[in-house]
């Protein structure tokens, strides 16, 4: 079974600075998908960024980028030019493709990192 580990329960960053959130995962699969979701106080789970394991290029989405290290099974999220609206709980998640067998529909989540942005 796949596991996702977020080793930082809480992080803080100054507004306009850069912060990196860590995520590691354990899997025996070679093909899979990784996601970062953000959950602000409203509690809606919002997709931040997605990475396909077969792609070597790191995904980017405006101020958000990832450092995907497949061999190390590491998937960190970098937030540049942090804004007050970035304050939220951030979840790393893993998903298997449908051809892999087992629970193909399931997103396996880490426990989350609570990000505080200081003005």
Partner 1 sequence: ETGVTQTPRHLVMGMTNKKSLKCEQHLGHNAMYWYKQSAKKPLELMFVYSLEERVENNSVPSRFSPECPNSSHLFLHLHTLQPEDSALYLCASSQEEGSVGNTIYFGEGSWLTVV
The beta strand positions in 40-112, using DSSP E, are 46-52, 60-61, 64-69, 74-79, 88-95, 107-109
Site for partner 1 in 35-54 (CB under 8 A): 35, 37, 42-47, 50
Q: Which among 13-21, 30-38, 58-66, 78-86 is the span making contact with partner 1, rule CB under 8 A? A: 30-38
Q: Closest Cα to residue 23, out of 6, 8, 38?
A: 6
Q: Closest Cα to residue 78, out of 93, 88, 68, 56?
A: 68
C-alpha span between 31 and 53 (Å, rounded): 6
For partner 1, the closer CB: 82 or 108: 108
**According to the binding rule CB under 8 A, does residue 55 interact with partner 1?**
no
For partner 1, the closer CB: 36 or 115: 36
Site residues (vs partner 1, CB under 8 A): 32-33, 35, 37, 42-47, 50, 91, 95-99, 103-112
């Amino acid at each position: 079974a796949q596991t996702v580990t977020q080793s930082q329960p809480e992080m803080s960053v100054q507004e306009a600075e850069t912060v990196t959130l860590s995520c590691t995962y354990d899997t025996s699969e070679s093909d899979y998908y990784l996601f970062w979701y953000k959950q602000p106080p409203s509690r809606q789970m919002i997709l931040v960024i997605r990475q396909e394991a077969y792609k070597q290029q790191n995904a980017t989405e405006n101020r958000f980028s990832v450092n995907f290290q497949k061999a190390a099974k590491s998937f960190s999220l970098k937030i540049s030019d942090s804004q007050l609206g970035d304050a939220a709980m951030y979840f790393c998640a893993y998903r298997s493709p449908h051809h892999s067998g087992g629970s193909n529909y399931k997103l396996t989540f880490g426990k989350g990192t609570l990000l505080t942005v200081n003005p």
